[in-house]
Amino acid sequence: MLNATQPKHRLTRQDWIDAAMERLVEAGIGAVSVDRLATGLGVTRGSFYHHFADREDLLRAVLDDWARRWTYEILEQIGVLELEPATALLALVKAVRSKRAADYDAPMRAWALHAPLARAVVKQVDEARLAFILSQFEALGFAGLDAENRARLFLHYEMSAPTMFASLSPERDEQLLLERYRFLTTARVD
């Protein structure tokens, strides 16, 4: 007979990271404890130490995983396609949305308010995201503050809108996306 606390398969390091990420999203960084994760995964606390030295080691892994999955991999996937800048921006939005990357941003930013390590990783991620988006706006012919402002608006909206605005419908969301995209990628006529 199997013990009720035994998982159906051997847990991997990634299983622990995923569980920690979900706890972070659901209840904040304070809820990410070894005991809570072990209980949620149906294992003993001891199995945690096969993969991590301590909670701080896990937290560093969560930050690295977040940065890799929801920024660096997405940017790399878009970059490899060698798309025209306007198409790359639209592809970026669609990738961010399909991977639900914005769902993880608010909890990371809340954590970063109180933790220097999280703050440093969030800053690096923001710089990488902004650099890519800015490069696309510059390739579209925008320069200086105009390009930077468009890039910042683009980044801010795409990463914060899902937490601020309820979806009206997929069709309406698509209309708003295309109008916002047109608005940001069209040069002003003075």
- Residue 107: C-alpha distances to residues 14, 112, 152 (Å): 19, 9, 20
Domain ranges of the chain: 1-52, 63-185
Token pair for 54: 């301590």
DSSP assignment of 57-86: HHHHHHHHHHHIIIIIHHHHHHHHTT--HH
The topology under which CATH files domain 1-52 is Arc Repressor Mutant, subunit A (1.10.10)
At residue 3, the pLDDT reads: 44
Architecture, CATH, for domain 63-185: Orthogonal Bundle (1.10)
What pTM was estimated for this model as a whole?
A: 0.88
Cα(6)–Cα(47) distance, integer angstroms: 10
Alpha helices, DSSP H, located in the chain: 13-27, 34-41, 55-67, 73-80, 85-98, 102-112, 116-139, 144-164, 170-185
Residues 38, 47 contacting (CB under 8 angstroms): yes
At residue 166, the pLDDT reads: 85
- What is the mean pLDDT for each group of 10 consecutive residues in the chain (190 residues)? 52 97 96 96 93 97 97 96 95 92 93 98 98 98 97 92 84 90 86
At residue 89, the pLDDT reads: 96
Token pair for 97: 């949305």
Residues 78, 91 contacting (CB under 8 angstroms): yes
Non-local CB neighbours of 126 within 8 Å, separated by 6+ positions:
155
